[in-house]
A and B are shown apart, each in its own frame.
Chain A
Amino acid sequence: MFRAIRTLKKKGVLGMNCRNLRYIQRLNDRKFYPRADSKLLTKKLAKEVGIAVPDLIGTMEFTGDIKRFEKLIEPHPDFVIKPCRGSGGEGIVVIQEKGSDGFHRGRGDIVGLSDLRLHCANILHGLYSLGGRPDIVVLEERLQFSALFENVTVGGIPDVRVIVYKGVPILAMLRLPTQASRGRANLHQGAIGVGVKMSTGTTTSGVMGSSIVTTHPDTKQKIEGLQLPEWRTLLATASRCYDFSQLGYLGVDLVYDKIKGPLLLEINARPGLSVQLANGIGLIARINQVEPQIRPGMTLEERVELSQSLD
Chain B
Amino acid sequence: MKSLASLIVGLIPIILGISIAVVRNTQLNVSFEPTIYADEWNVELEVSAHGMRGRNELGIQLPTSQPPQTIVEQGFDAPGFSLATIRSDGDTVALLTRRTGKEARQTFRYRLRVQPEKNEPKKNKLRHYETLSIEETLTPKQITGLQKSWSVLKKLHPEPERLKLLLKNLFRTSSAKNEFDFPELDGFHQKLAALQLLNFSARYRFGVTLLEGQKAAALRRFVEVLLQDDSIFFSTSQRKIIPAERVFIWGNSKEPIASSEGLEDITIQLVTSAVRTHYRPEQHAEASGWLEIIDRFSLYRIPVRQQYLFTVLLLIPIAALAVAFTRNVLGLRTFGTFMPALIGLALQQTGLWVGASLLGIIITLGLTVRFFLSGLQLLLVPRLAATLTLVVMGLLGICLVGTSYEITEVNAVGVLPVVIITMVIERLSVSIEESGLMKSFWLLFNSVVASFVAFSVVTNDYLKYLLLSFPETNFVVLGLTILLGRYSGYRLTELFRFRSFWRKA
A-to-B contact residues, CB < 8 Å: 1, 3-5, 7-8, 11, 13, 15-18, 21-22, 26, 63, 90, 114-115, 118, 121-122, 125-127, 188-189, 207, 210, 212, 273, 276-277, 280, 282
| CB contact under 8 A between A207 and B500, given known A17-B328, A125-B379, A125-B380 | yes
Classify the secondary structure of A's interface with B. Answer: helix
Residue of B nearest to A18 (CB): B488
| CB contact under 8 A between A122 and B498, given known A5-B490, A17-B488, A127-B430 | no
Most chain B CB atoms below 10 A, which of A63, A114, A277? A277
* A21 partner residues in chain B, CB cutoff 8 A: 486, 488
Interface string of B470-497 (1 = CB under 8 A from A): 0000000000000000111111001101
Q: A15 to B496, alpha carbons, bound, how many Å?
A: 12
Q: A22 to B486, alpha carbons, bound, how many Å?
A: 10
B435 interfacial contact with A, CB 8 Å: yes
Query: What are 5 pairs between A and B in contact, CB < 8 Å?
Result: A16-B494, A17-B487, A63-B379, A210-B497, A276-B498
Q: A63 to B379, alpha carbons, bound, how many Å?
A: 10
Min CB distance, A123 to chain B, in Å? 10
Question: Are A15 and B501 in contact, with the CB atoms below 8 A?
Answer: no
| CB contact under 8 A between A90 and B501, given known A15-B489, A17-B328, A126-B380 | no
Q: A286 to B491, alpha carbons, bound, how many Å?
A: 21
Q: A280 to B381, alpha carbons, bound, how many Å?
A: 44
Min CB distance, A103 to chain B, in Å? 15
Question: Are B380 and A8 in contact, with the CB atoms below 8 A?
Answer: no
* B497 partner residues in chain A, CB cutoff 8 A: 210, 273, 277
Q: A44 to B483, alpha carbons, bound, how many Å?
A: 40
Question: Are A7 and B491 in contact, with the CB atoms below 8 A?
Answer: no
B-to-A contact residues, CB < 8 Å: 2, 328, 331, 377, 379-381, 430, 434-435, 486-491, 494-495, 497-502, 505
* A17 partner residues in chain B, CB cutoff 8 A: 328, 487-491
* B486 partner residues in chain A, CB cutoff 8 A: 21
Q: A22 to B499, alpha carbons, bound, how many Å?
A: 23
Min CB distance, A47 to chain B, in Å? 30
| CB contact under 8 A between A277 and B500, given known A122-B380, A189-B435 | yes
* A212 partner residues in chain B, CB cutoff 8 A: 500
Question: Are B491 and A125 in contact, with the CB atoms below 8 A?
Answer: no
Partner of B499, one of A4, A15, A90, A118: A4
* B377 partner residues in chain A, CB cutoff 8 A: 114-115, 118
Min CB distance, B59 to chain A, in Å? 62
Min CB distance, A187 to chain B, in Å? 11
Partner of A5, one of B331, B379, B434, B489: B489
Classify the secondary structure of B's interface with A. Answer: helix
Q: A127 to B490, alpha carbons, bound, how many Å?
A: 30
Question: Are B501 and A8 in contact, with the CB atoms below 8 A?
Answer: yes
Residue of B nearest to A282 (CB): B501
Q: A8 to B498, alpha carbons, bound, how many Å?
A: 8
Question: Are A7 and B380 in contact, with the CB atoms below 8 A?
Answer: no
* B487 partner residues in chain A, CB cutoff 8 A: 17
Min CB distance, A254 to chain B, in Å? 24
Min CB distance, A173 to chain B, in Å? 14
* B331 partner residues in chain A, CB cutoff 8 A: 16
Min CB distance, A257 to chain B, in Å? 27
Question: Are B488 and A7 in contact, with the CB atoms below 8 A?
Answer: no
User: Known pairs A4-B495, A15-B494. 10 more at Cβ < 8 A?
Assistant: A3-B502, A8-B498, A11-B505, A13-B490, A22-B488, A125-B380, A212-B500, A276-B501, A277-B497, A282-B501
Residue of A nearest to B505 (CB): A7
* A63 partner residues in chain B, CB cutoff 8 A: 379
Q: A88 to B376, alpha carbons, bound, how many Å?
A: 27
Q: A127 to B433, alpha carbons, bound, how many Å?
A: 13
Question: Are A121 and B379 in contact, with the CB atoms below 8 A?
Answer: yes
Residue of A nearest to B484 (CB): A17
Partner of A13, one of B380, B434, B488, B501: B501
* B505 partner residues in chain A, CB cutoff 8 A: 7, 11
State the 6 A-B residue pairs at the shortest beta-carbon distance, nearest first.
Answer: A125-B380, A7-B502, A15-B490, A18-B488, A118-B377, A4-B502
Residue of B nearest to A26 (CB): B2
Most chain B CB atoms below 10 A, which of A3, A16, A212? A16
Question: Are A13 and B498 in contact, with the CB atoms below 8 A?
Answer: yes
Question: Are A210 and B500 in contact, with the CB atoms below 8 A?
Answer: yes
Most chain B CB atoms below 10 A, which of A114, A127, A280? A127
Q: A189 to B472, alpha carbons, bound, how many Å?
A: 46
Residue of B nearest to A277 (CB): B500
* B502 partner residues in chain A, CB cutoff 8 A: 3-4, 7-8, 11
Question: Are A121 and B490 in contact, with the CB atoms below 8 A?
Answer: no
| CB contact under 8 A between A277 and B488, given known A17-B328, A90-B434 | no
Q: A280 to B503, alpha carbons, bound, how many Å?
A: 12
* A207 partner residues in chain B, CB cutoff 8 A: 500
Q: A1 to B498, alpha carbons, bound, how many Å?
A: 12
Partner of A15, one of B2, B491, B500: B491
* A126 partner residues in chain B, CB cutoff 8 A: 380
Q: A125 to B489, alpha carbons, bound, how many Å?
A: 36
* B500 partner residues in chain A, CB cutoff 8 A: 207, 210, 212, 277, 280
Min CB distance, B436 to chain A, in Å? 9
Min CB distance, A191 to chain B, in Å? 12
* B381 partner residues in chain A, CB cutoff 8 A: 125
Question: Are B501 and A7 in contact, with the CB atoms below 8 A?
Answer: yes
Q: A276 to B498, alpha carbons, bound, how many Å?
A: 9
Residue of B nearest to A123 (CB): B380
Q: A62 to B328, alpha carbons, bound, how many Å?
A: 37
* B328 partner residues in chain A, CB cutoff 8 A: 17
Q: A189 to B440, alpha carbons, bound, how many Å?
A: 12
Most chain A CB atoms below 10 A, which of B495, B502, B505? B502
Partner of B380, one of A15, A16, A18, A127: A127
Question: Are B501 and A280 in contact, with the CB atoms below 8 A?
Answer: yes
Most chain A CB atoms below 10 A, which of B377, B489, B491, B501? B501
Most chain A CB atoms below 10 A, which of B2, B331, B495? B495
* A114 partner residues in chain B, CB cutoff 8 A: 377
* B490 partner residues in chain A, CB cutoff 8 A: 5, 8, 13, 15, 17-18
* A5 partner residues in chain B, CB cutoff 8 A: 489-490, 495
Residue of B nearest to A127 (CB): B380
Residue of B nearest to A11 (CB): B501
Q: A210 to B502, alpha carbons, bound, how many Å?
A: 13
Min CB distance, A17 to chain B, in Å? 5
* A90 partner residues in chain B, CB cutoff 8 A: 434
* B499 partner residues in chain A, CB cutoff 8 A: 4, 210
* A26 partner residues in chain B, CB cutoff 8 A: 2
* B488 partner residues in chain A, CB cutoff 8 A: 15, 17-18, 21-22
Residue of A nearest to B497 (CB): A210
Q: A4 to B494, alpha carbons, bound, how many Å?
A: 10
Question: Are B495 and A16 in contact, with the CB atoms below 8 A?
Answer: no
Question: Are B495 and A1 in contact, with the CB atoms below 8 A?
Answer: yes
